[in-house]
Amino acid sequence: MLTLTAENLISLVLLPLLGAVVWFIKGAVAKADKTRDELAEYKTHVAQTYLPKTEAEIRFDKLDARLDKLDERLDKLDNKIDRVLGAVSGNRRSTDKISEV
Pairwise CA distance, residues 14 & 10, whole Å:
5
User: What share of residues in the chain are helix, strand, coil (percent, to 5)?
Assistant: 90, 0, 10
Domain closes at, from 50, 66, 81: 50
Q: How does residue 93 score in pLDDT terms, banded at 50, 70 and 90?
A: low
DSSP three-state, residue 5: coil
45 and 67, same domain (yes or no): no
Q: What are phi and psi of 5, to 5 degrees?
A: -110, 175
- Are 4 and 42 within one domain? yes
pLDDT > 60? residue 99: no
Residues 14 and 35 in one domain: yes
- The pLDDT-based confidence of 11 (bands split at 50, 70, 90) is confident
Pair (58, 41) in one structural domain = no
Q: Is the pLDDT of residue 62 over 90?
A: yes
pTM for the whole thing? Answer: 0.46
Residue 74 has pLDDT above 60, yes or no: yes
> Residue 6's domain spans which residues?
1-50
Contact 26, 34 (CB under 8 A): no
Residues 64 and 21 in one domain: no
- Number of domains composing the chain: 2
